[in-house]
Amino acid sequence: MTISVNQLEEARRALEAPLFADLAGDAAVSFEFFPPKTEKMEEALWETVRTLEPFAPEFVSVTYGAGGTTRDRTHATVARIERETSMPAAAHLTCVEASRGEIDEIAEQYWAAGVRHIVALRGDAPGAGGFVPHADGYTNAADLVAGLKRLHPFEISVAAYPECHPDSKGHSDDLDNLKRKLDAGATRGITQFFFEPETFFRFRDRAAAAGIDAPMVPGIMPVTNFQSIVKMSAMCGTEVPAWMGRLFEGLEDHAGARGLIAATLAAELCRKLYAGDVRNFHFYTLNRAELSFAICHLLGLRAKTAAKAAAA
């Protein structure tokens, strides 16, 4: 990894106290939500949406359940965000258990609703059987990207894996797959979450060495429930550092303390990434605003009120 003078200066500042003093506010952010299952969850989601909207994110994405289980709710949520907010909405779309015709129809509905950004994913099949392409479906994410591009000039984000997708044979195989998705027409990669900045920097170096020059946006997951994140990490191949487990020991009945530690760890990760010349961050919000809001604020971003936004 080649270190620039600017990066060295940022590294020096990152080691000085206070850690977040006088950042330039030049970071760009995006947020991920999931479609609500109940009326109460929908109210909570929209409170989160309205709380984070003043940060003027580059886009916000809405997930798509395994096997299309949230298809209608995803579409309704994406369409409402596009219709009622100032934030560009991105819809997750997968290859799982659907024909090309069915997926193309969903994409056409998004285009008709004004949605111009798709997060194209292979997806994981429900259960433990692993991914099996539909007989008449898209075979993988690169195939899906190419199909979407044939329909309309969508902006397309795809998944990237700093620690390798669980189904890949290794880093080289993983990067080849990422390159196929980008060559098919994807705009950027959004990474799986990770917990140490060196994980992202090593991935970024490998991608550059493989000739990948598209933006790679780190996915940031604030950890509020350690046991849940351990299970999730095991499924997606993310290493959970031993020191993190020790930090959350004894906090099972202290939700407030867990939140403070989660914000501290995620903010420190973002600050170290910022020192390494990262300026784009994608937050997995879990439909909660407070942690992402605090981290954005620490990074020098300021939420604009409606009046200020209109005057800008």
Which of 21-35, 102-116, 152-166 comes out lowest in average pLDDT?
21-35
User: What is the average pLDDT value for the chain, to the nearest integer?
Assistant: 89
pLDDT confidence of residue 237 = 86
Please count the residues of the chain.
312
pLDDT one-digit tens code per residue, 263-299: 999 999 999 999 999 999 999 999 999 999 999 998 8
CA nearest to 42, candidates 81, 87, 83? 81
For 79, the token pair is 């369409």
- Tokens at residue 8, please? 């060295």
Enumerate the active-site residues.
32
DSSP states along 193-248: P-S-HHHHHHHHHHHHHTT--S-EEPEE---S-HHHHHHHHHHHT----HHHHHHH
pLDDT of residue 65: 67
Provide the 10 A C-beta neighbour count for residue 22.
8
* pLDDT given for residue 133 in this prediction: 73
Q: Looking at the predicted structure, is the pLDDT value of residue 309 above 50?
A: no
The angle at the Cα of 130, spanning 222 to 283, to the nearest 5 degrees, equals 15
Tokens of 275: 């020192």
Tell me the per-residue pLDDT of 39-90, one tens digit each, with 9 for 90 and over.
999 999 999 999 999 999 999 999 986 555 567 889 999 999 999 999 999 9
